[in-house]
Amino acid sequence: MKKIMAWSILLLPLLYLLLLSLNSYFKFPALIPKTFTWLYWSDVLLKNPLFYRGLISSVIIGFITACLSTLIGFMTGRAVVYHLNGFTKTIAIMIAIPLMIPGMIMFLGMHQILIHTPFINSILGVVIAHTVICIPYTSNIAIAYFAGIPREFEAVSKTLGGKGIVTFKKIIFPLILPGIMMSMSISFLISNTEYFSTFLIGGGKVISLSMLMFPYITNADYGHTAVMGLIFIGVHSLLFLVVQILIKHRQNKVFYGGD
């Protein structure tokens, strides 16, 4: 019984979206449409020139944001675990600042700063804004992973004559790799789900998937929205699946021998 309920929670919206994407116009009492059409799919996939632009720039923004925020997050994590006196409450709050300020106000402030730079209305500006809101998550992941590595590992490597780079490549990097993947996929996701900051700092010049969705949703255009949503869910579920498989694969290698 519980299982059926859980499955229906998962599948009902998806199935309904699929139905809607095939025919959005069915009047009130009808639960399921009677006629079907491919119009919405062909409209979005073939006739909308902005769609591919939006998809590509979404992926580019997401990817650069993921790399940047993961890099900064892991630098911060390393500094917190190894060079400061552990993960205290003050540090936790300092890192989480962007999460505590209401988003709207933070982005208005960022907009005021970025307006003086060449980054405004460009992909790079959006990337910078997204990076700021991703850093709290990536730093926390990094701190958790760095704290899980015993210090002795590095000491042993040093005693055996390993240089800094070798220690990093052979010991630290394999151990934090799952964390890096997790943090990259999470920041990619946060970046892609963000609407307001993309819209404000991109100034309408940067088109992303969620920006393409917005007019369809406000116009209650169910068919097109359903198509866009299915594509969105598909892309991201695929990403998470790949990351999960990679992490599993990697873990086995690290803990049970291998390279």
Partner 1 sequence: MDRKYRKLVLLTPITLLYSLLIGGGFWIILKESFGNIPTLGFEDVTFSYYSKAMYTNGFFHSVLFAIYLAVVSSVLSMVIGTWTAYRLTRAKNQKLKRLINSIMGLGIVLPYLYMVFLTMLFFSQSGVISRLLHALNLIHLPSDFPNLLYGRLGIGIIIVYVLKGIPFVTLLTMNVMSQISIDFEQVAMTLGGNNKQIFKKIYLPLSRDTIVWSGMVLFAYDLGSFEVPYIFSNLKSKSFSVMLYSEYLKPSIASIPITMAMTVILFGIGIISVILFALLVRTVIRRFHR
- Work out whether 51 is an interface residue with partner 1 (CB under 8 A): no
d(CA 92, CA 19): 46
Residues 140-199 within binding reach of partner 1 (CB under 8 A): 189, 192-196
Single out the segment in contact with partner 1 by CB under 8 A; choices: 44-52, 172-180, 216-224, 250-258.
Answer: 216-224
Neighbours of 151 (CB within 10 A): 9
Shortest distance, CB of residue 259 to partner 1, whole angstroms? 27
Place of tokens 């990536």: 138
User: The tokens of 172 are what?
Assistant: 């630290």
- Work out whether 1 is an interface residue with partner 1 (CB under 8 A): no
d(CA 180, CA 82): 18
Which of 50, 56, 86, 103 contacts partner 1 by CB under 8 A? 103
**210 neighbors 195 (Cβ within 8 angstroms):** yes
Shortest distance, CB of residue 217 to partner 1, whole angstroms? 5
- Work out whether 34 is an interface residue with partner 1 (CB under 8 A): no
* Residue 12, CA atoms < 13 Å, CB-side half-sphere: 7
Which of 59, 79, 149, 243 contacts partner 1 by CB under 8 A? 79
Pick from 176, 180, 184: which is nearest to 66 by CA?
184
User: The tokens of 226 are what?
Assistant: 């359903």
Closest to partner 1 by CB, 48 vs 193, is: 193
203 torsion bin: left (phi>0), alpha (psi -120 to 50), beta (else): left
Closest to partner 1 by CB, 157 vs 185, is: 185
| Contact positions vs partner 1 (CB under 8 A) | 2-3, 6-7, 9-10, 13, 16, 20, 28-31, 71-72, 75-76, 78-79, 83-84, 95-106, 108-114, 128-129, 131-132, 135, 139, 189, 192-196, 210, 213-214, 217-218, 220, 222, 225, 229, 232-233, 236-237, 240
